[in-house]
Structure 1
Amino acid sequence: MERLERARRLAGEAGIDALLVTPGADLRYLTGYAAKPLERLTCLVVPADGQPFLVAPTLEVSAAEAAGVAVEIVAWNETDDPFALLAGRLGPARRIALDDEMWASRVLALRDRLPEAEQVLAGPVLTQLRMRKDAAEIEALREAAAAIDRVHARMGEWLRAGRTEREVGHDIARAIIDEGHEHVDFVIVGSGPNGASPHHEVSDRVIETGDPVVVDIGGTTPAGYCSDSTRNYLVGGPPDPRYAEAYDVLHEAQAAQRAYARPGVSAESVDRVGREIIAAAGFGDLFIHRTGHGIGTQTHEEPYIVEGNDLVLEPGMAFSIEPGIYHPGRFGARIEDIAVCTDDGLEVLNRTERRLVVLG
């Protein structure tokens, strides 16, 4: 209920009459309920002045109760109009904030039932809550990081010449679950030239001796928090000299960013520290994405570590530090850790080897 009260207060301060939140990360954050995104409407309503309530189909009420939803549940039956029910319970509203990922069909239905209400995004309000993790959330992120570290520590079991990226990816996916995750969110196995595509995922390419391989993996734990870590492997050797040079530069840049990031510095300045090192070495045009993203109940959330984001980092903010260098048609490399700002520094949650790991 503390999160709901904070959301209610922030909504009032922003001149919003009510927050409306449908299934997704925001709903789970506020209530603990990981509702299924069904065609039937489930929607949390948090009035700025009044008690929150959850509109839910009758057949989902038991699931909401089992999840520990601590607000009134307003059930609706198959022949009811849930949008009219919601509007009637809410009453007159001048300005309503809808969660950023609400389906367009629901946005338009709410516009029809609440024609006098201005619709705005709830993200600016909910981001203020989710971006600053409390002690329990940080511990959940530690556990998620340790789980994905255990998968990276086992990479020698699967990653070797003669196997396809897809075969290795299947083994990694099983291990993500075995090591403590509830869901596999993504598996990237980018071997040789495929490593130059940051979001390559997997293919039927056969891994060859001497290939560098980018392995970026993550999942969601039963607590609802995400892991995300990228490490780099060499299948036998020796490496391409240009790759070895690029990797040394990347390692230096990521280490400098980890040493620099802390409360009181801006998100964009963390990006700049690593980017300047990579550019000075002649690889600047090959660093083609931001340095990082926030992480919590979603793999990508605020704060984003990128040029143009002058947000000042604060204790409790959790984010990735993941510079990369990508040479099209030849190789790619990325080093990624999840870190969280402490009161006076930075706690890096991933602990596995950041230097190039040679397998086989």
Structure 2
Amino acid sequence: MFVIQASGAAFLREGRSERQKGYNVTMPSLTAHQVSSQEIAERIKKVREKMEKAGLSAYISFDPDNIYYLTNFANFVHERPFVLVITPSDLTFVIPRLERAHVERHQVGDGLKLVDYAEFPALPGTRWSDRLQDVVPAQGTIGIEGACPAYLSAMVSNPTQVLNVIDAVREIKSPHEISRIAWTCDVMTKAFGMMLGSVKNGTMVAQAIGGVTPYFYQRCLTEASNYNVMSTHAAGLIQPPAYTDDPHNFSCLTAPCEPGGPFLGLIAGKINGYGAEIERTFFLEHVPEEARKPFDTMMEMRHKAYSMLKPGAIGSEIDAACQAIAKKAGYDNPLHRTGHSFGVTNHEAPFLAIGEDNVIQPGMLFSIEPGIYIQGKGGFRHSDTVLVTETGYEILTKYPHDKEELTLS
């Protein structure tokens, strides 16, 4: 059994066996520090540059993740909408009056104008839609992100264009974001070692994962001085063998862990505002003979993805190469793309998938998680959070990956 005990940058430098030879990789530092006003200003500047290229007089954001990215205010969508309006000169946040103190407590950055509305529902003239119409320019095309609900876009009388401008800016991470994600990876990987360390014959899944969430909060409360509980949504989970062919079925909390496999261990979500994940297929006491071929095929797919992951590569080509390995081995229907990105969420663009011909660039992050799923027999998937560097990549969730290392006693 492998238990992680190292810490900080030294921990993240361990286990480079999957890094492509010859790559000169620079490790990010780890930080849980608050985002700076300068960082927020740079993000807004990039959004405005894309708005100008698209010929927009304003851009409307409703997505809580995009709002958090540009303001540091974390909220969830309910009947009282929060609407961010960006123009070439102003950044205006239409908010419920009830939440004004909450926004002021957490916002970062200069120049954010708060415009509040009475309540929901409210009388005509005091509604959120009235305040929105007050701040949207009377002329020009308004950009609206794809996540905006129809009832919001219906309130805009200008010509509109659906564009995911903020999402596009988020694709390449700044040094601050990379350091925040590296910190999240450190938390998750250590928690993962704790979780697998508690798996024994007869252990109930709920018992094995019980220490994960307390560990998250302990790290946040001791290392993140401006920690906001609303910016952490993460969990640790274990799938026993009977469930692993169904990748997102985690309804097995009362199941006991019994010898054999494949099991899947997973920690995913976002901690202190930034997402990551780590997953491993593992075994208890022994590796069943029928599990060896699909495990080895999954590992071949994984190594292929790493061999192709570098600036200038095409995301769809990486996924196609992984799927070709699966099909050659006799597994015709891979259920899962090779990877997705991370940031202020734990699933976002760009993707490593056959449907997206994106060009990989330094500063992007991806999960590397090609998998094999055999109905009624089990699923096989490792996942790591991986940074694309100037010359290659760096795995931020270092953990053993071979069958022998992942066979628990």
Could you say whether these structures have the same fold, taking a TM-score greater than 0.5 normalized by the shorter chain as the test? yes
Change (3 A) 1:251 1:216: same
Pick the aligned partner of 1:200 from 245, 249, 255. Answer: 249
The question of 1:114 aligning with 2:114 is answered no
Equivalent in the alignment of 1:87: 133
Worse-matched range after superposition: 248-257 or 259-268? 248-257
Worse-matched range after superposition: 170-179 or 80-89? 170-179
Equivalent in the alignment of 1:272: 320
TM superposition shift of 1:66 = 1.6
Instruction: Give the secondary-structure state (helix, strand or coil) at the position aligned to 2:255.
Output: coil
Q: Which has the higher contact order (CA 8 A, sep 6+)?
A: 2
The question of 1:296 aligning with 2:328 is answered no
Equivalent in the alignment of 1:344: 391
Equivalent in the alignment of 2:224: none
- Assess if the C-alpha contact under 8 Å between 2:144 and 2:153 holds in 1: no
Change (3 A) 1:198 1:156: closer
What is the CA deviation profile of residues 233-266 of structure 1, one whole-angstrom value per residue up to 9, with x for unaligned ones? 21111x2212112112212221221122000110
Q: Which amino acid aligns with 2:115?
A: V
Equivalent in the alignment of 1:75: 116
TM value normalised by structure 2: 0.80
Structure 2 unaligned runs (5+)? 1-40, 222-228
TM superposition shift of 1:35 = 2.7
The question of 1:283 aligning with 2:283 is answered no
Q: 1:159, 1:99 → 2: CA distance?
A: 44
- Assess if the C-alpha contact under 8 Å between 1:158 and 1:171 holds in 2: no
Q: 1:180, 1:161 → 2: CA distance?
A: 32
Name the % identity: 23
TM superposition shift of 1:92 = 1.1
TM superposition shift of 1:180 = 4.6
Pick the aligned partner of 1:216 from 242, 266, 269. Answer: 266
Q: Which amino acid aligns with 2:147?
A: E
TM superposition shift of 1:83 = 1.1
Structure 1 unaligned runs (5+)? none
Q: 1:186, 1:18 → 2: CA distance?
A: 38
Q: 1:4, 1:59 → 2: CA distance?
A: 26
Equivalent in the alignment of 2:292: 244
Q: 2:261, 2:220 → 1: CA distance?
A: 29
- Assess if the C-alpha contact under 8 Å between 2:236 and 2:267 holds in 1: yes
Q: 1:346, 1:17 → 2: CA distance?
A: 38
TM superposition shift of 1:308 = 2.8
Instruction: Give the secondary-structure state (helix, strand or coil) at the position aligned to 2:183.
Output: helix
Q: Which amino acid aligns with 1:339?
A: V
Q: Which amino acid aligns with 2:349?
A: E
Pick the aligned partner of 2:175 from 135, 151, 162. Answer: 135
- Assess if the C-alpha contact under 8 Å between 1:229 and 1:336 holds in 2: yes
Instruction: Give the secondary-structure state (helix, strand or coil) at the position aligned to 1:38.
Output: coil
Equivalent in the alignment of 1:44: 84
TM superposition shift of 1:22 = 2.3
- Assess if the C-alpha contact under 8 Å between 2:143 and 2:163 holds in 1: yes
Equivalent in the alignment of 2:380: 333
Change (3 A) 1:109 1:261: closer
- Assess if the C-alpha contact under 8 Å between 2:85 and 2:135 holds in 1: no
Instruction: Give the secondary-structure state (helix, strand or coil) at the position aligned to 1:41.
Output: coil
Instruction: Give the secondary-structure state (helix, strand or coil) at the position aligned to 2:275.
Output: coil
What is the CA deviation profile of residues 13-61 of structure 1, one whole-angstrom value per residue up to 9, with x for unaligned ones? 11222111125110011111113433223211001x3312111122212
- Assess if the C-alpha contact under 8 Å between 2:61 and 2:83 holds in 1: yes
Worse-matched range after superposition: 323-332 or 175-184? 175-184
CA RMSD of aligned residues (A): 2.1
- Assess if the C-alpha contact under 8 Å between 2:195 and 2:209 holds in 1: no
- Assess if the C-alpha contact under 8 Å between 2:238 and 2:264 holds in 1: yes
What is the CA deviation profile of residues 175-199 of structure 1, one whole-angstrom value per residue up to 9, with x for unaligned ones? 4444559634344422112111111
Q: 1:142, 1:336 → 2: CA distance?
A: 15
Equivalent in the alignment of 1:8: 48
Equivalent in the alignment of 1:101: 147
Instruction: Give the secondary-structure state (helix, strand or coil) at the position aligned to 1:234.
Output: strand
Pick the aligned partner of 1:54 from 80, 85, 93. Answer: 93
Instruction: Give the secondary-structure state (helix, strand or coil) at the position aligned to 2:360.
Output: coil
Change (3 A) 1:196 1:163: same
Equivalent in the alignment of 2:277: 228
Q: Which amino acid aligns with 1:86?
A: L
Q: 1:63, 1:319 → 2: CA distance?
A: 33
Worse-matched range after superposition: 252-261 or 271-280? 271-280
